[in-house]
Amino acid sequence: MEYYSWILAFHVISVLSWMAMLFYLPRLFVYHVENSDKKDFVDVVKIQEYKIYKYIGMPAMWTTIISGIAMIYLAPELFKSGAWLHAKLTVVFLLIIYSFSLEYFRKQLEENKCKRSGKFFRAYNEIPTLFAILIVTYVVVKVVSVTFTLAMVLLFAFIIYMIMKPKRVKNAQ
């Protein structure tokens, strides 16, 4: 157990780096899509998208996973501490899927084949925030509140709806 705290510290640092990519890459996608007519700008954004995903996001995701597995290996009793760890791991699994989806969109954008809008990527950018709120709450509180989880999902569904809904055009009279 003497190494557990060191691994935990490394795990938290890895999560922070991974989340930086998860929060920022979809924002780059917004800039990319909304400035597609500016080739020089898009060329720079493509480089940023590639580097943040390949050099920051993926290494951070894998070190998060590996350090998480190491912590569970060193403290298997965590699985007996309640449903919070299972809920956290479920959301982490969804976050991993989300990470790979970002690479899918990055490749589409790199090849100029993406048909998604800036609005879509603004809404898509809300997902890691929801997942982060759920994960941190489960870990800190060590309880899975169905009410809290449902409230957060509904709140973010509303936020995404507000982002995606068509803007009303005012009639000029």
Residue ranges for the binding site for heme? Answer: 11, 88
Q: Which residues are annotated as a binding site?
A: 11, 88
DSSP of the chain, one letter per residue? Answer: -TTHHHHHHHHHHHHHHHHHHHHHHHHHHHHHHHTTT-HHHHHHHHHHHHHIIIIIIHHHHHHHHHHHHHHHHH-GGGGGS-THHHHHHHHHHHHHHHHHHHHHHHHHHHTT-----HHHHHHHTTHHHHHHHHHHHHHHH----HHHHHHHHHHHHHHHHHHHSPPPPPP--
